[in-house]
Structure 1
């Protein structure tokens, strides 16, 4: 196995496939790509808990990310999940590049920092947007990277191109389309991820380091916990919201999002959420 920058040689593929519940053989084809995408987002939550636990130097090397997400049963945030997914795809034999997008759904800001990272996978002369780390509003399987592409199903998406040349991924909800992020296909590399990771962990404007954000995408329901507000998104229905009490918030990582935490981490989170 030649050592590419995506470190497919370092990934324990069998352990990863077990972690996400993937059944059957894998090959660098569209069927595998789709099934991997759905399995990953169903099993692995978006999880910003390290920032709340005071860990301001979360490593992005494949060994560390794999240990956390695969072996410890944790989730991970965007950059960690992309590092893991890229290593898995590299190991299987896919060809792809990474790009960075400017999140719009929480801010409506088309000009914020490009903090979200995802992949464009090349297959049979086409490219597919493969994004396993956007969370509760994100894709459950790849969408063709083409102008006016659509992904229809219980949860539907489309891909538009603006006059500026930016592509925009939209989540098509009953209450109206939601712009998730805008992006260009400019290639990003693992070295770029380190800068984004530092911003997300430490910058005062980061949306990820001052309140709990957990997200999980399953076929029947998508969950998003931001602070103490839990959103549930079901097929064909407007999202519902409810406030959780402190004990519910602390049990949510495991009970709702399938995240395994150490008892000491739960106690630290309780102190952090209680504030000074």
Structure 2
């Protein structure tokens, strides 16, 4: 049975109160609203809760309960919404920081490609501090306000996206062969459950605005971008109340049913581990 997406509810979740057409203007409207409204976050993983890529579970979590998620959840839900609006959407595999991690990085990320009027666009709301607007899959530098991103064609169906300075990662490579969300269930499960997963090891949240990104790692909140003095600013959260305020107001995460005390305990433990590792290096 195919799960139906309530388009009106989905657009309301994004703060969009007008009809959206399946054209470039519509794609830009949805992508921008999603990137600035629906947070990247791994709270369920941190609290030991299950994560599902099933459409009904995604709709309940991201639309009905107004939560965020991590890359597989966010882009799987975006694909559902875009298809319900009439867009042609392809799920593809990517490898974040393949330059550093090598071939084992494939399927550590799941971006989308959208075909419109003879041109292909990268749609991706699962990058923690990603881009506000879709990026054309075309070699060159692509500017969005004062942020600049680069796309490189590496040959055949292999492409590379390069992020802006002071971002959470350097690049990701992608292959244009079409896949399904189901092809990423195993990769997602490992990142949810394995003690070696960065998502298990560290509380994470992220959101993008015009010329400014916000990223939380354990207790460290980082703002970066042209709108931030000197390009980047960091501070360490000093209390559970501070964490709750940042989650609710910086990352727009509803705290109903969230064990903030448990998250704070995790973040403190993770911060101490980071300090110990930094002292040894």
Q: Which residue in the other structure is 1:130 paired with?
A: 123
Task: Report the Cα offset of residue 259 of structure 1.
Answer: 0.2
Please say if 1:208 is aligned against 2:199: yes
Please say if 1:232 is aligned against 2:223: yes
Matches within 5 A, 1:153-172: 153-162=145-154, 166-172=158-164
For these two proteins, the number of residue pairs brought into alignment is 265
Q: Larger deviation: 139-148 or 109-118?
A: 109-118
Matches within 5 A, 1:1-276: 10-55=4-49, 57-104=50-97, 108-113=100-105, 114-136=107-129, 138-148=130-140, 150-162=142-154, 166-173=158-165, 179-235=170-226, 237-247=230-240, 248-263=242-257, 265-273=259-267
Q: Provide the secondary structure at the position in 2 that maps to 1:159.
A: strand
Task: Report the Cα offset of residue 171 of structure 1.
Answer: 2.1
Q: What is the rounded CA distance, in whole Å, between the counterparts of 1:33 and 1:157 in structure 2?
A: 18
Task: Report the Cα offset of residue 223 of structure 1.
Answer: 0.3
Q: Provide the secondary structure at the position in 2 that maps to 1:109.
A: helix
- CA 222–11 in structure 1, closer or farther in 2 if over 3 Å, else same: same
Between structures 1 and 2, the one with greater helix share: 2
Q: What is the rounded CA distance, in whole Å, between the counterparts of 1:11 and 1:135 in structure 2?
A: 24
TM-score after normalising by structure 2: 0.86
Listed one character per residue, the Cα deviations across residues 237-264 of structure 1 (whole Å, up to 9, x for unaligned) are 5222221123223432112100002255
TM-score after normalising by structure 1: 0.87
Gaps of 5+ in 1: none
Gaps of 5+ in 2: 271-281
What RMSD over aligned residues (CA atoms) do the two structures have, in Å? 2.4
Task: Report the Cα offset of residue 164 of structure 1.
Answer: 8.5
Task: Report the Cα offset of residue 235 of structure 1.
Answer: 2.0
Q: Provide the secondary structure at the position in 2 that maps to 1:172.
A: coil
Task: Report the Cα offset of residue 274 of structure 1.
Answer: 5.2
Task: Report the Cα offset of residue 172 of structure 1.
Answer: 3.1
Q: What is the rounded CA distance, in whole Å, between the counterparts of 1:220 and 1:143 in structure 2?
A: 16
- CA 112–18 in structure 1, closer or farther in 2 if over 3 Å, else same: same
Q: What is the rounded CA distance, in whole Å, between the counterparts of 2:6 and 2:151 in structure 1?
A: 33
Q: Larger deviation: 80-89 or 157-166?
A: 157-166
Asked if the contact 1:11/1:87 (under 8 Å) is kept, the reply is yes
